Structure 1
Amino acid sequence: MDILSVIKSRVFISSSLDMAITWSSGPSPDWTLLPKDVFGLVLDKLVDISDRVRTASVCKPWLSIAQDHSMRWLKPAPTQLPMLLVPTDDNSTTHRGLYCVDGNRVLGSRLHIPYSKRCCGSSHGWLIFAEEDLALTLFNPFSQETIHLPPITRVPTSEEIGESYYSHEYEIRKAVLSKDPSLAPNDYEVLALYGFCDARLALFQSGENSWVYLKQENYEEYYFEDIIYYQGHRLALGSKCCVYKVLVSVVSDGEGIIRLGCIKRLKSRAEQSYIVDCGDSLMWIDRFYVQSDYIGDDDDDDLGSSEDDADDHQDSTDEDDHDQDSSNDRATGYFEIDGKLYTYISDIHHLTSSFKVCQMKSIEGNIELVESDQLDGRALFLGHNHSCWILASDFPGCRPNCIYYMDDWMEAAYQPLGAIDIGVFSLEDQCTRPLYVPTPKQWELPPPIWIVPQGNPVNMLSLSE
């Protein structure tokens, strides 16, 4: 809802409006001086949490009023617009900024998040972090609640690591929650993929003291790409193009083990795949990366390239370098970050080129994939977060039939440019556009991740000085 439209519809009927605010020609009114009760009428109209956050982020007086008003707000709408957690302008290690997709901008407010590390999961408004001993920490930035879970696996020895690069932050590929622990403290689960190269399954159930794992002899056969809870069922997408129903059995000694039931074996050549709960259907999403096509002038709008000279500290590239290296089957080109040009090489940097969307449908008793070129007005949000969707028409400014994606390539942190593959893909015109690009000073900070705001996040906001 347009905030000024609400104000205009209310301002002249408010008996408490003692100060003169007119819409005639002359100096613009100082909106920071809007009376508290009048501004309260505006706040009463906001049912979307993202609207509340954006409004409160305008200035300190508005934030103060919104925080005082927060207890009067009605229960928010059941579906909320995901926001992107990003580094702050001053690159704080204790706070994160918020990027709003329907406004295409970073808000002036920030959230206190005392973990300066990669987030391996975002689910039901909670963030999930891996500690040095590979224990998991659940943190709710909107309530500041914290839950500590036991280590998911042991830390590898130096002999096992060898000369390979090791970071505990990347040993947990992804984790999702079955429910909001704030609402179901004794009835939630954490399903996780762990292992840097070949992700395996582990499950934690509230009230227990340890994780349960996939039966040992199956480890060599099963590695996984994505996990989700769908209509009360645990689903895992296997690297061999199978969707599995994750079952938990109890063996004689009382410990649990994970068993799998294959739902459907499918063929896919994608480098990354997702399964998404779209309410009335389950979708299989394949993600493809730029591999062999030259990034040139035709793609300038999509990849943010520029004709300016590259930055002095970057390696220069001749025209011949633009051509595909046939021996390595890799693409080269330029793209722009923060007004500077950088060389793109497809086997070093990974930029998304497209997505393929399929609905999983039951046809004559069999589950089949039916490819689709639209999402029925939905927008999907993919990455290391719990994959989710919204109806774009509920959020003006959000683009329908589009996939909003973050950089979840597991080697992104080791690339010189960090997590740069963040954008939006349109199924209608089959093109990608950059959404948010970290500046060079932010490359070593934790990569952005989607989060769905819950409760009254306005109370946890602070404004940049």
Structure 2
Amino acid sequence: MHVADAVHSGAVCASWRAAYDAFRRHRLPSPRQPPCLLYASDAAGPDVAALHCAATCAALRIPFPRARLARRPLLGSGHGWLVTADEASKLLLLNPVTDAEVALPLITTLHHVESFTDERGAPMYNVFENIRAEPTDLEPHRAHEFMYYQYRVVLSASPAAGRDCTVLILHMPQGEVSFARLGDERWPWVAAGKDTGLPWRYGYRDTMYNAFDDLFYLLQFNAAMCSLDLNGPLPVARQVLGSVPKSVYLKKYLVQTPSGDMLQVWRLRKHIDSLTPVELSPDYVDDDDIQNPHLELKTLDLQLYNVDLQHQRVEMIDSLPGHALFLGFNAALCLSVKDFPGLKPNYAYVTDDCEEYVSMLRYNLREIGIWSIADQSMPRLVDVSPVIYPWLNWPSPIWIRPSLF
């Protein structure tokens, strides 16, 4: 069964509930799950989130208080778990289906973050971006907006695997690399230099874990790549691809196909004036968020490149037959439509992952659609796959593959 069907089965009768409980207790394997869009909805209620399945168009309501979503921004997802931050900007892993939660090391264990108390006695963080410059002062509850939103958090495995789950984060300043295994108390920093082999300290924009070779791969803003081995006592990195001309100003994703090939996806976006401005909440107060009811961020182009590590080059491809992409603040996915017949082949299912839209612009319209790689166009997801509950603008919807473990 899909996760949604399994959850629903437990509500049929007492004997089915007992079977469902046994399934959960014995951790029996379930099939690979199709991606779902996690979103909040007024129609679903204040204490409920919705999961819209892209393959079946079914919607599952799960207990997930809206206030919790508002307090804990969604910073990423992988293996059915969300990456969030608490009121002190400490990262947490949360399974929205089971409500299981795992805490990660404190933000102050990053190599360049220190805590202090200001003149009012309030806790604060110092972030040292450059040893020659004054540190940046951050309020704990907003530090995640500065530290994580532009970058990525990636898991090597489900947190149910315990110490076998490694969490790699790209963070400020300017895209540095740190990691931790579940249960660690600190975020070890992967410094550039001969000790690690990491070719560049800054500039990493995306990362992925490759289960075929047990390595992480890091993608730079200029499309250059390096591998990162975290299996030994010390990190070991190696450059595997040089920079690519005319790639600097495009949003980039690193994704692996089911056969093990790696792709780079470049996304061109532009702010446009919306013909239908959004309505701001009556209690909205214009502060640092600088809301613009007419502003929309639109995808204008998606370019796909096959990564040839043997010859250290990328080759542009114009189609992805039999496959569908899922792009956003989730760990990027490439899935075979044979495994999920309801998915549209040669399409990319996309959501917003611009840092302003995820962290600040709560009322602006979200871009949620499916990009036709063949036609180079993107209808809204709601136009081609109607949902029971229309999604809200906040928090920004995110793709996950639901898991009971």
TM-score by length of 2: 0.73
Preserved CA contact (<8 Å) 1:406 1:421:
yes
Return the offset for 1:371: 1.5
Distance in 2 between the 1:343 and 1:75 partners? Answer: 47
Assess, with a 3 A threshold, how the Cα gap between structure 1 residues 63 and 352 changes in structure 2: closer, same or farther: farther
Q: Does 1:376 align with 2:321?
A: yes
User: Structure 2 matches for 1:178-257, cutoff 5 A?
Assistant: 178-182=156-160, 184-195=161-172, 198-215=174-191, 221-230=201-210, 231=212, 232-248=214-230
Q: Does 1:151 align with 2:103?
A: no
Assess, with a 3 A threshold, how the Cα gap between structure 1 residues 213 and 352 changes in structure 2: closer, same or farther: same
RMSD of the alignment, in Å? 3.8
Preserved CA contact (<8 Å) 2:258 2:336:
no
Preserved CA contact (<8 Å) 2:52 2:60:
no
Q: Which residue identity lines up with residue 275 of structure 1 in the other structure? A: L
Return the offset for 1:125: 1.3
User: Structure 2 matches for 1:24-173, cutoff 5 A?
Assistant: 47-50=1-4, 52=6, 56=8, 62=12, 67-70=17-20, 71=22, 75-77=29-31, 79-90=32-43, 94-104=47-57, 107=59, 109-112=61-64, 114-116=68-70, 117-152=72-107, 153=110, 154=113, 156-157=125-126, 160-161=135-136, 167-170=142-145, 171-172=147-148, 173=151
Distance in 1 between the 2:311 and 2:391 partners? Answer: 51
Distance in 1 between the 2:323 and 2:191 partners? Answer: 38
Distance in 2 between the 1:163 and 1:136 partners? Answer: 16
Moved more, 429-438 or 391-400: 429-438
Return the offset for 1:422: 1.7
Aligned to 1:397: 342
Distance in 1 between the 2:280 and 2:156 partners? Answer: 47
Structure 2, unmatched stretches of 5+, are 114-123, 128-133, 282-292
Return the offset for 1:376: 2.6
Return the offset for 1:377: 0.8
Q: Does 1:407 align with 2:352?
A: yes
Distance in 2 between the 1:246 and 1:140 partners? Answer: 27
Secondary structure in structure 2 of the residue aligned to 1:393: coil
Return the offset for 1:313: 7.8
User: Structure 2 matches for 1:300-311, cutoff 5 A?
Assistant: none
Assess, with a 3 A threshold, how the Cα gap between structure 1 residues 163 and 91 changes in structure 2: closer, same or farther: farther
Return the offset for 1:226: 0.6
TM-score by length of 1: 0.65
Assess, with a 3 A threshold, how the Cα gap between structure 1 residues 227 and 65 changes in structure 2: closer, same or farther: farther
**How many residues are matched?**
351
Q: Does 1:273 align with 2:252?
A: yes
Secondary structure in structure 1 of the residue aligned to 2:239: strand
